[in-house]
């Protein structure tokens, strides 16, 4: 099994010189641990991996790195390269955890394919009226108050204002579930009261574009991440 099937760019995100240690700590909080060159997920051996400097990236990946910092991600700090078994039952969980912890682009070293793990995405404003909105919060780069959620809320308010809608929208401390963003009544449109039972009808046609995790970072392992030649 190759040690160099996949690579992911670990972004700094304010970690400074301790980016490697913080990356490992964040992985551990999601039950991914590194022991030597072995990767474990919830105690199950998944494959092999190690850190490499940015300078060892090939030409294609180097072009992505050379752009430098990205909004809310910081600067590229290093590479984590790994290979997992062909299709273990929970390889999708491993890939999603690595991507959500590194934030940088994912890369197939055997085919030279690159995938952005953080992209601009559109969501309907009805995502604000349910605990399961924004893919149960998993699409959001952060779920705690800070500059990222401030920008998301600002984009939401601009969309509401552009459609003459007034309502409370923001990060709710009372919100249940994993989605911290909410829109609460009373709702008015063009100065007219919108009954609570019709609020979603008014919001459904409207969208907001934000930075978010790639939609394919779900539980299933898609073709991009298959280790076809162990």
- Of 70-74, 90-94, 108-112, 183-187, minimum mean pLDDT range: 90-94
Give 154-211 pLDDT, tens digit per residue: 999 999 999 999 999 999 988 888 999 999 999 999 999 999 999 999 999 999 999 9
- Of 55-69, 156-170, 199-213, 214-228, minimum mean pLDDT range: 214-228
For the chain, list the strands marked E by DSSP.
Answer: 6-11, 32-35, 38-41, 44-52, 76-84, 103-108, 113-115, 118-124, 165-171, 181-189, 192-194, 207-213
- Characterize the bridge pairing of strands 32-35 and 6-11: unpaired
Q: Which of 32, 29, 119 is nearest to 70 (CA)?
A: 119
Q: Inform me whether the pLDDT recorded for 224 exceeds 90.
A: no
Residue 51 dihedral angles phi and psi, to the nearest 5°: -85, 150
Mean pLDDT of the chain: 92
CA dist., res. 208 & res. 83, Å (int):
36
Q: Inform me whether the pLDDT recorded for 229 exceeds 70.
A: no
pLDDT of amino acid 221 = 76
Q: Inform me whether the pLDDT recorded for 213 exceeds 80.
A: yes
- Which residues lie below 8 Å from residue 223, measured CB to CB, with a gap of 6+? none
- Characterize the bridge pairing of strands 181-189 and 192-194: antiparallel
Residue that wins the pLDDT comparison between 176 and 218: 176
Collapsing DSSP to helix, strand or coil, 218 comes out as coil
CA dist., res. 192 & res. 1, Å (int):
64
Q: Tokens 């280790």 identify what position?
A: 227
pLDDT of amino acid 135 = 95
Assess contact for 35 and 97: CB atoms under 8 A: no
pLDDT of amino acid 1 = 44
CA dist., res. 28 & res. 32, Å (int):
5
How much is the average pLDDT of 116-131? Answer: 96
Q: Tokens 């007034």 identify what position?
A: 166
User: Which uninterrupted H or E stretch holds 163?
Assistant: none
Assess contact for 90 and 62: CB atoms under 8 A: no
pLDDT of amino acid 86 = 57
Q: Which of 23, 27, 30 is nearest to 78 (CA)?
A: 23
Collapsing DSSP to helix, strand or coil, 104 comes out as strand
What confidence tier does 88 reach under pLDDT thresholds 50, 70, 90? Answer: low
The residue extents of the domains of the chain are 6-117+215-225, 119-213
What confidence tier does 84 reach under pLDDT thresholds 50, 70, 90? Answer: confident
User: Which uninterrupted H or E stretch holds 146?
Assistant: none
How much is the average pLDDT of 213-230? Answer: 78
Residue 139 to residues 31, 57, 116, 212, Cα–Cα distance (Å): 20, 28, 14, 5
């Amino acid at each position: 099994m190759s040690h160099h099937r996949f690579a992911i760019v670990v972004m700094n995100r304010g970690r400074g010189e301790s980016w490697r240690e913080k990356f490992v700590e964040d992985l551990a909080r999601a039950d991914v641990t590194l022991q030597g060159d072995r990767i474990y997920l919830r105690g199950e051996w998944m494959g092999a991996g190690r850190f490499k400097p940015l300078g060892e990236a090939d030409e294609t990946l180097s072009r992505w790195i050379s752009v430098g910092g990205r909004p809310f991600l910081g600067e590229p700090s290093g590479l984590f390269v790994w290979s997992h078994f062909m299709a273990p039952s929970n390889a999708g969980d491993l890939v999603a955890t690595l991507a959500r912890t590194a934030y940088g682009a994912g890369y197939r070293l055997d085919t030279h394919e690159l995938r952005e793990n953080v992209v601009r995405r559109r969501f309907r404003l009805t995502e604000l009226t349910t605990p399961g909105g924004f893919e149960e919060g998993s699409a959001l780069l952060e779920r705690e108050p800070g500059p990222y959620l401030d920008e998301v809320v600002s984009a939401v308010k601009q969309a509401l204002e552009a459609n003459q809608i007034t309502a409370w929208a923001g990060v709710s401390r009372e919100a249940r579930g994993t989605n911290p963003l909410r829109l609460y009544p009373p709702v008015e449109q063009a100065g007219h009261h919108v009954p609570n039972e019709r609020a979603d009808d008014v919001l459904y046609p409207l969208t907001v574009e934000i930075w978010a995790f790639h939609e394919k970072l779900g539980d299933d392992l898609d073709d991009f991440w298959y280790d076809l030649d162990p």
